Structure 1
Amino acid sequence: MNPVILPDAQWFDLAPEGGGAPYRIFLARPRVAAPAEGFPVVYMLDANAGFATFVEVMRRGAVRPQATGIREAVIVGIGYPEGDDHRARRHLDYTAGPSEETPRQGAAHPHGGRDAFLAFIERTLKPRIAALAPVEAVNATLFGHSLAGWFTLDVMTRDPAAFRTHVAVSPSIWWDEARLLEGLALAQGTAVRAALMVGEWEQALSPWQQGRPDAGEMAARRARRAMVDRTRAFAALAAERLGAQAQVSFELLAGEDHASVLPSAMARALRFALAT
């Protein structure tokens, strides 16, 4: 079989300064001439799954920006090399400490690497991307889903200068809600832009999940984590605490659950991120 190639895209592995396990970096460049100020850049977490889809959503939308609200951008995906334990590494990278569920369930993976991961993005990855593509330094977006969504909100509240825009899809606020709420107090008066999205069926069983053998366990977990209620409430509180200079939006995506929401969120995320 002939492989399908994503044009004007590449990947490479990049290790943090001072050593450590490398990350698999995916880079897609626009196929048009760069504006004088450079292109906006969107950093996508968990890029092993969905990078090509995200790029194609951007490119298809940029064909008719006046209709879609999406324009050309540099897309940078941050993932992990094949053979790595992606689940374990993301639990480490995306968290500042243990989950609120850890006392009940125990810690399945290491956690608490949030500061080191952000340092890799800021000190190693961003300079490399700036050397490879004409990017607009002050117009960067961070896009994360699930636990990466928690990381996105934590960066927004505690390191707001790192990114202009933050898109958190189905953020796992339940992981450490107290830290995120404390972060909002630190971020008061900051002109951040944030879009929060969550699927309709992330807090209760969808109709097609009702008959599963594990339906009871799934329903209890979803009720406990309260993804919809927590995301809606955090967005409302963020809008109140951050003030008029911030831009905060919330969107409930009809018909989607935690696993299916990502493709539906991509165009909305790009429209928000790339708004002029």
Structure 2
Amino acid sequence: MQPGIVIEDSSWFDLAPCGGGAPYRILLAMPKGPAPPAGFPVLYLLDANASFATLVEAQRRGAERPAGTGIGPMVLVGIGHPADGLYDRARRIFDYTAGPCREEGETRATGGRDGFLVFLRQVLGPAVAARAPVDARRQTLVGHSLAGGFVLDVFGRDSGAFANYVAVSPSIWWDEQRLTDGLARIEGAPRLALIVGEWEEALPPWLAAQPGAATIAERRARRAMVHRARAFAERARAALAGRGAAEFECLAGEDHASVVAPALTRALRFALADADG
């Protein structure tokens, strides 16, 4: 199992992208019991080194009382990296972006978005289906921060890749124009949930007296995470024109880091509330 993560009924394997290259560490948590006739719904979580254990715990606790929580059996797939630490920052910046950041000062390599999506669809998807009976019509992609920006990009430009999309604290500021332009390309009836924390656009009380507080406050105001996410949800709703869904939720008392745990519970519920389920 991934170092630092020990989860019952879970496994891991490394999987290389098309054409070779550095592999991804894939974490897989299987539900107990027989699959429904159409197969299990599947949730794909990006940045799995950081959050997969949290996701699995939320799913298993929720599935104990599905009538009350709205959370039931599903296959959980985490996409991470075979490296120590929560993130491989260079790889995630490359994989989750289509091009350079609109903010000045970012010099790391970008542009791997298309290749990473090919990996998700043509390599990882079949690998998961070979290991578990899955419902191809009920697949959900979840990402936080820069991974959330990737989720929004796929939602617009490749909306048929997944049925449901959950973007947690998405980095819309990276290239807002591209994400907005992508909404004109939506096909079908995908469902989108955007979730942010109350303190992502302003300085929370617990940081007010910390060194560098003024710099943090300026950056949060400039990136306007809450405002941009709310506005994007409104634009997505208009672009869908009655198809699918585009929901927005701002979680009280949470910031960019702490929002992840409660947002994953909401992601599980959202994934299982799809119209075809």
TM-score (norm 2): 0.95
Q: Distance in 2 between matches of 1:6 and 1:83?
A: 18
Root-mean-square deviation (Å): 1.3
Give the fraction of aligned pairs with identical amino acids, expressed as a percent. 59
Q: Give 1:16's aligned residue.
A: 17
CA deviation digits over 1:109-158, x for unaligned, max 9?
A: 21110000000111110000000011101110000000000000000100
Structure 1 length as normaliser, TM-score? 0.95
Deviations 1:34-67 (A, max 9, x none): 1111100000000001101101111111111110
- Which residue does the alignment assign to 2:67? 66
Q: Which amino acid aligns with 1:48?
A: N
The Cα of 1:190 is off from its aligned counterpart by 3.1
* Structure 2 residue runs without a partner (length 5+): none
Tell me the equivalent position of 1:98: 100
SS in 2 for 1:201: helix
The equivalent of 2:7 in structure 1 is: 6
Residues 150-181 of structure 1 show CA distances to partners (whole Å, capped at 9, x for unaligned) of 00000010001100000000000000000011
Does structure 1 conserve the Cα–Cα contact (< 8 Å) formed by 2:5 and 2:53?
A: no
Summarize the alignment of residues 136-175 of structure 1 with structure 2, pairs less than 5 Å apart.
136-175=135-174
What is the match of residue 81 of structure 1? 82
Match among 262, 265, 274 for residue 264 of structure 1 = 262
1:18 and 1:250 map into 2 onto residues whose CA distance is 38
The 3-state SS of whatever aligns with 1:49 is helix
Structure 2 distance, partners of 1:5, 1:213, is 36
In the TM superposition, what is the alpha-carbon distance from 1:4 to its structure 2 partner? Answer: 7.3
- Which among 224, 235, 247 is matched to residue 249 of structure 1? 247
* Number of residue equivalences: 270
Instruction: Give the secondary-structure state (helix, strand or coil) at the position aligned to 1:30.
Output: coil
> 2:130, 2:5 → 1: CA distance?
27
Regions of 4+ moved over 6 Å = none
| C-alpha distance in structure 1 between counterparts of 2:168 and 2:262, whole Å | 10
Tell me the residue number matched to 1:29. 30
Question: Residue 239 of structure 1 aligns with which residue?
Answer: 237
Aligned to 2:43: 42
